[in-house]
Amino acid sequence: MSPSLPEKAADTTAESPWPLRLLSMKISDYVDRMSPVWVEGQVVQVNRRPGARSFFLTLRDADVDMSLTVTMPVPVLDRLPVPLQDGARVVVHAKPSFWPKRGTLQLEGRDLRPVGEGELLARLEHLKQLLRSEGLFDPARKRPLPFLPNTIGLVCGRGSAAMRDVVENSRRRWPGVRFEVREVPVQGNDAVAAVSAAVVELDKDPQVDVIVVTRGGGSFEDLLPFSNEALIRAVAAIRTPLVSAIGHEVDTPLLDFVADLRASTPTDAAKRIVPDMAAERERLEQARERARRALASRLATEHRQVQVLRSRPVLADPRATLTPHRLHIDAARERARSVLRTRLMRANADIQRSAASLRALSPQSTLERGYAIVLHRDGRVVMDRTEVEANELLRVRVARGDFGVRPVSKPARSRRKDADA
């Protein structure tokens, strides 16, 4: 190495850079020091040329879009019990290698083993327990489905029978139901990303009230995308209720556990997401008939009660209750009249007696017996003859009228008074 070049990458500057060849050599040296490693992935493409001592395959991560090229001796491929197919899950024992001229990293494989179904089941069980411990399968997180969704979001394979089963059976049950369909790959390398993106897109649509993820039956490996951790977490994060309808009734991908409702088949999903119009109409008629019978029974009961009330004497002749009171009032009125008449008669008799006494004691009665009253001119009664002067005009009142008189001379004193004097 030239003394003028920096020893470490951190010491490089714009004035003192490394040549590209030096960087490539250092990367190659670093990769060569790496130990062989067992790597799991999914086979995307197998390229074997006739007569070649080695073959190439592309190993892809099942969860993310990332892959590496692997070279492998041909005898490793020949020892496999079954031919290696695209989409197979394998573990490869390989050592990383860097090609400086092309600037590519690849794996030099030494052994390859297909991942058996038992191993996949064990890994899925471990992932299942992990997700359950995080609460993603908690029943409290399950959201109820709407009785009649406005729009159903449907994630399915392109032109699949599962899509037809869901759509046709749903419309057979409720003809006016609407669908927002997303046709995506439901198996293979792109299934997880495509299904996750479709679910997230439908969740953002305010018109979609429920999402159905469906596909028909298949092999264990065909259904593995629906047990992928990335897809499970994407479904757990949405707000719209989701129905899982994957495969047949015996198939239980992890999507079934995080979904708000698990349908055993696509046809079963159609029965779960929309009501049956005929059944609802029949229930409505039954409810209407029950209401009609209940109303008729209530009216009949009320009519009987009215008849019982009307048959009572007080309602048969409402005036009957007033008769005793009327008799009582009439008797009281008659007693009052009798008492009033008696009192009036007594008062009249008293008045008659008082009038007779008054008439007997009145001056008029005295006058009518022949007496007269002599009055001075000023109206004073003459009580003594000595009060009368000669020629004084006096007024004499008799029973019927009065007249004036003048004494000729002053009356003399009475002899009794003279004697008394």
Query: How confident is the model over 182-195, as a mean pLDDT?
Result: 88
Q: Is the distance from CB of 89 to CB of 114 less than 8 angstroms?
A: yes
Confidence bin at 119 (pLDDT 50/70/90): low
The single-letter code of the amino acid at 53 is R
Residue 164 lies in a domain: yes
Please give the DSSP secondary-structure letter assigned to residue 90: E
Q: Is the distance from CB of 77 to CB of 88 less than 8 angstroms?
A: no
| Same-domain pairing of 86 and 138 | no
Last residue of a domain, one of 275, 297, 315: 275
CA distances (Å), 283 to each of 126, 150, 169, 297, in order?
A: 46, 22, 20, 21
pLDDT for 89 equals 80
Q: Checking DSSP bridges between strand 242-246 and strand 208-215, what pairing results, if any?
A: parallel
| Same-domain pairing of 267 and 190 | yes
Residue 148 lies in a domain: yes
CA distance 65 to 398: 156
Residues paired with residue 54 on neighbouring β-strands, in sequence order: 73
Residue 387 lies in a domain: yes
| Same-domain pairing of 94 and 146 | no
| Tens digit of each residue's pLDDT (9 = 90 or more) over 204-217 | 999 999 999 999 88
**Surface-to-core class of residue 75, CB atoms within 10 Å of its CB (0-12 exposed, 13-18 middle, 19+ buried):** exposed
Q: Checking DSSP bridges between strand 179-183 and strand 208-215, what pairing results, if any?
A: unpaired
Query: How confident is the model over 146-172, as a mean pLDDT?
Result: 91
Report CA torsion sign: 17, 23, 25, 29. positive
The pTM of this model reads 0.53
Total tally of structural domains belonging to the chain: 3
CA distance 260 to 140: 10
Residue 62 or residue 295, greater confidence:
295
Confidence bin at 159 (pLDDT 50/70/90): confident
- Name the percent of the chain lying above pLDDT 90: 35
pLDDT for 3 equals 56
**Surface-to-core class of residue 204, CB atoms within 10 Å of its CB (0-12 exposed, 13-18 middle, 19+ buried):** exposed
pLDDT for 411 equals 65
> Reduced to 3 states, what is the DSSP secondary structure of residue 106?
strand
Confidence bin at 63 (pLDDT 50/70/90): low
CA distance 387 to 301: 109
| Tens digit of each residue's pLDDT (9 = 90 or more) over 241-286 | 999 999 888 788 999 999 999 998 899 999 999 998 888 889 999 9
Query: How confident is the model over 296-308, as a mean pLDDT?
Result: 91
CA distance 251 to 157: 17
| Same-domain pairing of 160 and 223 | yes
Residue 179 or residue 50, greater confidence:
179
Residue 69's closest CA among 108, 120, 23? 108
Which structural domain, as residue segments, surrounds residue 110? 34-115
**pLDDT above 70 for 309:** yes
Beta-carbon contacts of residue 410 (< 8 Å; ≥ 6 apart)? 388, 389, 390
Query: How confident is the model over 82-96, as a mean pLDDT?
Result: 82
Residue 322 lies in a domain: no
Confidence bin at 421 (pLDDT 50/70/90): very low
Least confident interval from 91-100, 194-203, 407-416: 407-416
pLDDT for 198 equals 95
Strand order in the sheet with 401-405: 373-375, 394-398, 401-405
Residues paired with residue 104 on neighbouring β-strands, in sequence order: 99
| Same-domain pairing of 192 and 269 | yes
Report CA torsion sign: 16, 17, 18, 19. negative
pLDDT for 413 equals 63
| Same-domain pairing of 108 and 163 | no
